[in-house]
């Protein structure tokens, strides 16, 4: 019996080689654009969206071949899959990260002993993982975050209070380092007493940018009100991340913060993949208020996704048939390349000119949505993110998302004010029947009357928001009445929240 022919790894075609030559040496264009803040902003004002889309895709192809040549694990992965250059498979934790060692996933097959940092993921969907990064790739990420912060919050001097969790987590330390490029930074971590002490010590003469998870900043406002701390006397802005944020929660935070923007990233990939801008927030809020705009951009979905803009010279983003976002980090500085990596976030992407045309057909001018003092807009592509598929529950064919529950909660300010956290699950009766169960961590003593208020309010707003839930309700109303459980702070399923850097969203 003849030996099977050895699988040959794909190689770039002559046409691809020509495109790589046209693209220029490695990260030359990215380096020129990111030379300083002015070249960064001017570059994305001047480069046309069509060129950016071509450049992003071509850079991703070059990153694919570079990983094949330099990363033992990736070459083995492609060989095992017997994949051609026209059918590059997705990678994720199960198919790639768990299979190969951290060393094998690095360029050269080893971890450098200098200029390398290890981050740990939060483990919000299971086991925490370790991720290795070079000083060069962290420099690129920090630079992008600092530019986005300057674009959104301005160039005036401020003090940054970094309330993200400190330690091995990717976000805390790196956000502090990134914002040092823009401001004075104090890394307090999520410690309310230290934050209030810092504000008191430096006083109201400074403006402040506070970084943190959205629910923590809500807690900051609530505790300040309870302790009569004069937040209203301070000039505060906020940069949040780590999880989604409804427009209801943004409105809540805007009671005390002058501006609130969010960033998007994943420890599997890197922080600072994308950021909210005045324009992306304006489009999201327009979609919230205008059903026609919402349908045209996002289709039939009860959820209002987070909307960001991203740097296509650093990340190439695709969407698969399950509406999951697929990422390729295209920079050559990456120690452990991620090629077509799926973090299982649902969402979508759209070029700037495509968004402009879509809004124009609805009678909306993209330039008038978020006017700025510059002549031209920032023509970066748009990315929208619903969240992890893992956090969805389904009852009687109706999918219920944490985003639905959060929007329903913040539709009632009185209930939102006393709620610290929430999560959802499916309750199963002894006879096998199921119904949705929503659990809330509240700051006052729970009782039956309050439980009834939660039940009526959440049900009322879910029926407005979620078409699938509304349709199922007409057929199975007795099954879809949600089961409500209220817990005091730190009790029941929320007991572990104080030790977690992200709150649980599904049981």
Q: What percent of the chain has pLDDT over 90?
A: 51
Q: Which residues pair with 208 in a beta bridge?
A: 159, 236
Q: Which of 243, 281, 274 is nearest to 260 (CA)?
A: 281
Cα–Cα distance for residue pair 63/440, rounded to 1 Å: 45
User: Residue 340's pLDDT band (boundaries 50, 70, 90)?
Assistant: very high
Cα–Cα distance for residue pair 76/91, rounded to 1 Å: 13
Cα–Cα distance for residue pair 161/149, rounded to 1 Å: 14
* 363-372 pLDDT tens trace: 998 988 877 7
Residues 6+ apart with CB under 8 A from 173: 166, 167, 187
Q: What percent of the chain has pLDDT over 70?
A: 91
CA atoms within 13 A of residue 439's CA, in its CB half-sphere: 19
Q: What mean pLDDT comes out for the span 8-13?
A: 86
Torsion sign (Cα): 347, 352, 353, 357: positive
Q: What mean pLDDT comes out for the span 307-328?
A: 95
Cα–Cα distance for residue pair 276/262, rounded to 1 Å: 5
Cα–Cα distance for residue pair 323/345, rounded to 1 Å: 8
Residue owning tokens 């990420």: 141
Q: Is 242 left (phi over 0), alpha (psi -120 to 50) or beta?
A: left
Cα angle 245-248-254, degrees, rounded to a multiple of 5: 90
Pairing of strands 398-400, 324-329: unpaired
What mean pLDDT value characterizes the chain? 87
Residue with the larger pLDDT of the pair 383 and 125: 383
Pairing of strands 159-162, 235-240: unpaired
Q: Answer for the pair 133, 159: CB distance below 8 angstroms, yes or no.
A: no
The secondary structure of 171-220, three-state, reads HHHHHHHHHCCCCEEECCCCCHHHHHHHHHHHCCCCEEEEEECHHHHHHH
User: Residue 257's pLDDT band (boundaries 50, 70, 90)?
Assistant: very high
Residues 6+ apart with CB under 8 A from 55: 23, 29, 312, 313
Cα–Cα distance for residue pair 254/256, rounded to 1 Å: 5
Residue owning tokens 């022919």: 5
How many secondary structure helices (H) and strands (E) does the chain include?
19, 18
Instruction: Go through the domains of the chain in sequence order and give each one's CATH number.
Output: 393-499 (3.30.300.30)
* 263-312 pLDDT tens trace: 998 888 988 899 999 999 999 999 999 999 999 999 887 778 999 999 99
pLDDT of residue 2: 44
pLDDT of residue 503: 63
The tokens describing 440, both together, are 């809330």
* 346-362 pLDDT tens trace: 999 999 999 999 999 99
pLDDT of residue 396: 65
Would you report the helix, strand and coil content of the chain in percent, each value rounded to 5?
45, 20, 35
Q: Answer for the pair 60, 330: CB distance below 8 angstroms, yes or no.
A: yes
Torsion sign (Cα): 285, 291, 297, 302: positive
The tokens describing 210, both together, are 């506070």
Torsion sign (Cα): 311, 312, 318, 323: positive
pLDDT of residue 467: 76
Q: Answer for the pair 431, 479: CB distance below 8 angstroms, yes or no.
A: no
What is the Cα Rg of the chain in Å?
A: 24
pLDDT of residue 480: 78
Q: What mean pLDDT comes out for the span 465-473?
A: 79
Q: Answer for the pair 397, 472: CB distance below 8 angstroms, yes or no.
A: yes
């Amino acid at each position: 019996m003849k030996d099977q022919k050895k699988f040959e790894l794909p190689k770039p075609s002559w046409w691809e080689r020509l495109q790589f030559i046209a693209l220029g040496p490695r990260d030359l264009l990215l380096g020129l654009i990111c030379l300083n803040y002015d070249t960064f902003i001017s570059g994305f004002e001047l480069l046309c969206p069509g060129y950016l889309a071509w450049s992003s895709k071509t850079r991703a192809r070059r990153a694919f071949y570079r990983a094949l040549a330099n990363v033992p694990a990736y070459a083995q992965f492609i060989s095992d899959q017997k994949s051609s250059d026209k059918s590059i498979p997705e990678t994720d934790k199960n198919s790639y990260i768990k299979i190969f060692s951290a060393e094998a996933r690095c360029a050269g097959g080893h971890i450098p002993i200098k200029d390398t940092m290890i981050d740990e993921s939060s483990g919000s969907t299971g086991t925490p993982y370790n991720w290795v990064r070079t000083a060069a790739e962290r420099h690129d990420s920090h630079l992008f975050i600092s530019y986005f912060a300057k674009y959104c919050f301005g160039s005036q001097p401020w003090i940054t209070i970094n309330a993200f969790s400190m330690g091995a987590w990717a976000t805390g330390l790196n956000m502090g380092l990134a914002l040092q490029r823009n401001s004075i930074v104090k890394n307090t971590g999520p410690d309310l007493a230290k934050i209030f002490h810092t504000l008191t010590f430096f006083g109201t003469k400074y403006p402040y940018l506070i970084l943190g998870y959205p629910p923590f900043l809500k807690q900051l406002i609530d505790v300040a009100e309870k302790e009569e701390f004069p937040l209203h006397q301070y000039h505060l802005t906020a940069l949040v991340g780590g999880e989604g944020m409804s427009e209801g929660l943004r409105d809540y935070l805007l009671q005390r913060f002058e501006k609130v923007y969010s960033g998007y990233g994943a420890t599997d990939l890197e922080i600072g993949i994308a950021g909210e801008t005045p324009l992306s927030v304006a489009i999201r809020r327009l979609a919230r208020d205008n059903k026609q705009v919402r349908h045209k951009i996002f289709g039939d979905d009860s959820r209002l996704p987070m909307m960001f803009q991203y740097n296509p010279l650093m990340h190439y983003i695709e969407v698969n048939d399950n509406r999951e976002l697929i990422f390729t980090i295209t920079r050559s500085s990456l120690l452990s390349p991620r090629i077509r990596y799926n973090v299982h976030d649902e969402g979508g992407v759209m070029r700037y000119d495509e968004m402009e045309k879509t809004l124009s057909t609805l009678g909306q001018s993209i330039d008038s949505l978020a006017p700025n003092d510059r002549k031209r807009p920032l023509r970066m592509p748009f990315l929208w993110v619903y969240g992890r598929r893992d956090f969805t529950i389904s009852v009687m064919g109706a999918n219920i998302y944490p985003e639905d529950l959060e929007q329903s909660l913040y539709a009632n300010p009185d209930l939102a004010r006393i709620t610290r956290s929430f999560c959802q699950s499916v309750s199963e009766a002894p006879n096998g029947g199921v119904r949705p169960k929503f659990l809330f961590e509240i700051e006052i003593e729970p009782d039956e009357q309050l439980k009834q208020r939660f039940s009526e309010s959440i049900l009322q707003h879910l029926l407005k928001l979620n078409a699938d839930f509304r349709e199922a309700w007409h057929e199975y109303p007795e099954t879809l009445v949600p089961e409500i459980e209220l817990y005091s702070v730190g009790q029941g399923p929320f007991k572990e929240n104080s030790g977690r850097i992200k709150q649980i969203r599904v049981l």
